[in-house]
Amino acid sequence: MVQINLPKNSKVQKGKFYKDKTGSKNIRKVNIYRWDPSSGENPRIDTYEVDMDNCPSKVLDLLNKIKNEIDPSIAYRRSCAHGVCGSCAMNMDGKNGLACTKPHKEIKGDINIYPLPHLKVQKDLIGDLSTLYKQYESVEPWLKVSKKDGHKENLQSIEDRSKLDGLYECIMCACCSTSCPSYWWNGDKYLGPAVLLQAYRWIIDSRDEDRKERLKKVADELKLYRCHTIMNCTNACPKGLNPAKAIASIKKMLATG
């Protein structure tokens, strides 16, 4: 259901202010969404003054600096720091992206950091993605071949292989799905751009023998057709992929048979 306003327990309050202690002249304010599950309080926005003279270039570096030098209690996911694992997906400056590939120089004014939108928050910048993973599982993201050829090499022409370009690069960071208003309002039923792009990746694979079943499964008023081409997904994708186009391709395949 469309619920524009946040529920009572999700209303964001003003939080603490951490004044700069280094005496640096190059200071930026960083506003970070905080929620502590043990406190029972509403989420709040803490503001940190950060010395930018001694801070590397990316938003993740900025977060690490705050965690190491100012406030160790702040929680966020991160792993590879090179835009490959997708752990540090979050909302920076009103747009989803990977903290490890987003330069803070690109952000004008105060730096606002929130968790990925419209998720249940586990702590601070960590959102709960279990619904998305369950939906991912539902599209059966693995190659399906009949058993008798199971031991033979499964060849694919260069042309067929190139159909997977722009799809296989997806790292499932959920930036696209959580940027989609349709997914915000119908996240429990609509599969969302990330999962639909993955579904298309298996539908279009020339080696897969389950195309018809896959298409039949995804052809659903809620699962697929909640996409209204808002294009927030393509705008958000940190890998430069195009989920909107993948979804349209599924719709086109269904329409043209």
Residues at the site binding another protein, with contacts judged by CB under 8 A: 4, 6-7, 9-10, 12, 33, 35, 37, 42-43, 91, 93-95, 112, 114-122, 127-128, 130, 179, 181, 184, 228-232, 234-235, 242, 244-245, 248-249, 251-252, 255
CB of 117 to another protein, least distance (A): 4
Tell me the C-alpha distance between 84 and 193, whole Å: 19
135 vs 179 by CB, closer to another protein: 179
95 vs 144 by CB, closer to another protein: 95
10 vs 54 by CB, closer to another protein: 10
CB of 251 to another protein, least distance (A): 7
56 vs 103 by CB, closer to another protein: 103
CB of 15 to another protein, least distance (A): 14
84 vs 230 by CB, closer to another protein: 230
Q: What are phi and psi of 50, to 5 degrees?
A: -115, 135
Tell me the C-alpha distance between 47 and 198, whole Å: 38
CB of 160 to another protein, least distance (A): 19
5 contact partners, CB below 8 Å, separation of at least 6: none
* Pairing relationship of beta strands 95-98 and 44-51 according to DSSP bridges: unpaired
CB of 74 to another protein, least distance (A): 15
The burial of 122, by beta-carbon neighbours within 10 Å (0-12 exposed, 13-18 middle, 19 or more buried), is given as middle
Q: Where are the beta strands (DSSP E) in 40-106?
A: 44-51, 89-92, 95-98
CB of 226 to another protein, least distance (A): 13
Strand, coil or helix: 116: coil
Half-sphere exposure of 168 (CA within 13 A, CB side): 8
Which single residue is written with the structure tokens 């309050």?
Answer: 13
51 vs 124 by CB, closer to another protein: 124
